[in-house]
Amino acid sequence: MEIYLVGGAVRDSLLNYPSSENDWVVVGATPEQMADQGFKPVGQDFPVFIHPTSSEEYALARTERKSGHGYKGFEFYTSIDVSLEEDLIRRDLTINAMAQDTAGNIIDPFGGQKDLEKKRLRHVSEAFTEDPLRVLRVARFAARYHHLGFTIASETMTLMKSIVAEGEMAFLVAERVWKETSRALTEPSPQVFIQVLRDCGALKALFPEVDALFGVPQRADYHPEVDTGIHTLMALEQSVKLSESSAVRFSVLVHDLGKALTPETVLPSHSGHEKSGLPLVKALCDRLTVPNSHRQLAMAVTEYHLHSHKAKELKPATILKLLQNIGALRDDRRLSDFLYCCEADARGRTGFEDITYHARDYLMAALSAVKKVDISDLVADGVTGAEIGRQLKQRQIEQLTTFKSNY
């Protein structure tokens, strides 16, 4: 029995890049031998075990053969005669197909170290095309290592395009698409994930609502970058500087979907794009089974981001309605995340990347003013029944009126 550290932990160690988990491959062992040593079997499709003390995953070396469509269309073979190299060759990228033995020696049969030196994301073999999920994975790695100078090898991009052209992306289940996307959104350069998907054609296949934004013009006085798709990428890049939340970054990604529906006769203006974008955001969230936390924020940002940009022009009653509708009166974090999205939108424009977003302090202060109104004071004053709600709203608006006059 031989045990090797494989994949991401080896790659990131060579890059001096943070790594949060270890994956292990065991060569020359049977499931029975693993169980005898206290390993707990957990794999459904192939033998994977949990270490009795570290709780890390140990998988028996295996080969795989394409037997259908999608990432599940594989038959796996595992045996004591499967070699380490046979296991490594089934992996997606050369930088993920390296192993380290117990003495610290690197086993690198496919040139992963050379590709690390050249900052190149390159496929291991032509079998890369057998799994459409690899298109998303490569795009995610591009988003992770873009700031280090990594790019996708041209021959690998060619294979990614062929996967898309053959219609394989349609066989990916929504949960896996969302899992890869949500992980990519937390990487240092999520805008690169979107750009790579667009470059290979996968964005149109998986996120047609986002792909439709490219080429849609905006008013140059508001958006010197003009192209709505470019603005979306710029805003997504800005969101990284403001929040680590994948919900915030997802909401920024989809906040302008309505602009793709603007009639050509009124371009480059986009009056009403906030409302028209809501069905598109809902449809995308439904299709990809996006979590409610992300969905709720995305819907709020889509509908109300222009309210935030014009915050100081809003009437007290409109400010109150905004705070209520985005859920800020229930949870302060709803407003904070909403404002991160709006700030990223405002900064995601050519020449506006470093502006101070004054609406943040203004609306946070407005929320504090509203919270000075305590419902217990109404009860103490003898207000009862339905009148409590009416009086509460009236006093909140009075607080906001005072706030606006003093700000």
- What tens-digit pLDDT sequence spans the chain (407 residues)? 899 999 899 999 999 998 888 999 999 999 999 999 999 998 776 789 999 999 999 999 998 776 555 555 557 788 898 999 999 999 999 999 999 999 999 999 999 999 999 999 999 999 999 999 999 999 999 999 999 999 999 999 999 999 999 999 999 999 999 999 999 999 999 999 999 999 999 999 999 999 999 999 999 999 999 999 999 999 999 999 999 999 999 999 999 999 999 999 999 999 999 999 999 999 999 999 999 999 999 999 999 999 999 999 999 999 999 999 999 999 999 999 999 999 999 999 999 999 999 999 999 999 999 999 988 888 788 888 888 888 899 999 999 999 999 99
Look at the alpha carbons of 292, 294, 297, 303 in this order and tell me if their dihedral is positive or negative.
negative
User: What pLDDT sits at residue 190?
Assistant: 98
| Dist. CA 273–CA 83, nearest whole Å | 57
User: What pLDDT sits at residue 69?
Assistant: 59
Quickly count: other Cβ atoms within 10 Å of residue 230's Cβ. Answer: 21
Phi and psi at 200, nearest 5°, equal -100, -5
User: What pLDDT sits at residue 389?
Assistant: 86
Quick one: tokens of 77? 């073979």
Q: What is the pTM of this model?
A: 0.92
Angle of CA points 116, 120, 122, to nearest 5°: 105
| Dist. CA 333–CA 254, nearest whole Å | 20
Give Cβ neighbours of residue 284 (< 8 Å, ≥ 6 apart): 207, 209, 254, 257, 290
Quick one: tokens of 197? 């998907």
The whole-angstrom distance between residue 362's C-alpha and the CA centroid of its chain comes to 29
* Beta bridge pairs of residue 123: 93
Give Cβ neighbours of residue 404 (< 8 Å, ≥ 6 apart): 316
Q: How many helices (H) and strands (E) does the chain have?
A: 19, 11
| Dist. CA 391–CA 388, nearest whole Å | 5
| Dist. CA 24–CA 299, nearest whole Å | 42
Quick one: tokens of 257? 């979907």
User: What pLDDT sits at residue 165?
Assistant: 97
**394-399 LR contacts (CB < 8 Å, sep 24+):** 396/320, 396/370, 397/316, 397/317, 397/320, 398/316, 399/369, 399/370, 399/372, 399/373
| Dist. CA 172–CA 367, nearest whole Å | 43
Annotated domain spans of the chain:
1-111, 375-406
User: What pLDDT sits at residue 244?
Assistant: 97
Q: How far is CA 187 from CA 45, 192, 224, 286, 350, in A?
A: 29, 10, 27, 24, 23
User: What pLDDT sits at residue 380?
Assistant: 80
In words, the CATH class of domain 1-111 is alpha beta
| Dist. CA 88–CA 106, nearest whole Å | 13
User: What pLDDT sits at residue 67?
Assistant: 55
User: What pLDDT sits at residue 108?
Assistant: 97
